[in-house]
Amino acid sequence: MLLRAEELTKDYGRFRALDDLNLTIAPGEIFGLLGPNGSGKSTAIRLLLGFLRPTAGSATIAGHDCWHDSIAARREIAYLPGELRLYENMTGRQFIAFLSKLRGHPPTAEIDELARRLDIALDRPLVQMSSGMKRKVALLQVLAAHASLLILDEPTNTLDPTMRDQLLDQLKRARERGQAVLFSSHVLSEVEQVCDRVGILQRGRLVHLQKMVDLSEARSIRAYFAETPAKLPELPGLQLRNEEDHRLWLEYQGPLPPLLDWLARQPVVDLRIEPLGLAPIYHRYHGVEA
């Protein structure tokens, strides 16, 4: 595994910001880290970057301990923070050249191709750029680094929909090159679009791990009946989520024909079947009822 966290924990006095995080990410995998503000996402990222010392547990990147061997670990990483602080006395091109040389890899012709895709005026001073344009410059630097692991904290903040799609396409290309991506976001649709696995944090604990390939086979069924059925069919993977006024909300992971056969024999007034998606799972932990 490229990234491995074992019982990674961070306390601030009596407050536990991250609690026994166990996580692995393989080369060529995009992992989505979900949770609202205060759930532990930023703390986890800072521990992996070696910016914070863990209270307990450990994390390694490419075999290098993120705290005790943090310089070697960070050589494997390209990082986009949630809040940017750039050298605004430089142009975009100067900024990228400066950081590329610090990594020991001077910029190549690929920079101009990426700039064209992301619609960046590289020779414009950063101080004259909008927040969205500055973020695109920082993204370009991260993508061009070809690091083993990309850590992106809310990467689509301030990006318009077209540029969001372009970024997600670039992340897929990074995966094809064998790079790993740790992708923190509040936008569930983006996570569904690019991630191979997803983890949900709640109050510092990893409460759910989800393979997206499994989720693609799960469905949400909302059915309205003239009369509520006496009982549900005994089908593996069928769960009742809610029942109200002759309306049933079901979640189902399995072949559709047996379920459709049962529904065809019921007094159905209205029926809606759609992919389950991440939202119902996320809202179990962070919805209004949670």
Residue type, 5: A
Q: Is the pLDDT confidence value at 288 over 60?
A: no
Q: Residue 284 has what DSSP assignment?
A: H
In this prediction, what percent of the chain has a pLDDT beyond 70? 99
**Whole-number average pLDDT of the chain:** 91
Cα angle 167, 99, 190; round to 5: 15
CATH homologous superfamily for the domain 3-214: P-loop containing nucleotide triphosphate hydrolases (3.40.50.300)
How many Å apart are CA 13 and CA 149, to the nearest integer? 31
How many Å apart are CA 48 and CA 166, to the nearest integer? 27
How many Å apart are CA 23 and CA 209, to the nearest integer? 10
Q: Domain ranges in the chain? A: 3-214, 217-286
Q: Supply the CATH classification number for the domain 217-286.
A: 3.30.70
Cα angle 134, 137, 139; round to 5: 110
In order, the DSSP letters of 90-115 are SBHHHHHHHHHHHTT----THHHHHH
Encode pLDDT of 76-96 as tens digits.
999 999 888 899 999 999 999
Q: Residue 223 has what DSSP assignment?
A: E
Q: Two tokens at 26? A: 């393989």
pTM for this model (two decimals): 0.84
Confidence of residue 104 (pLDDT cuts 50, 70, 90): confident
Q: Which residues of 41-52 are buried (b: 16+ CB within 10 A; e: fewer)?
A: bbbbbbbbbbeb
Encode pLDDT of 112-124 as tens digits.
988 998 889 999 9
pLDDT score recorded for residue 102: 86
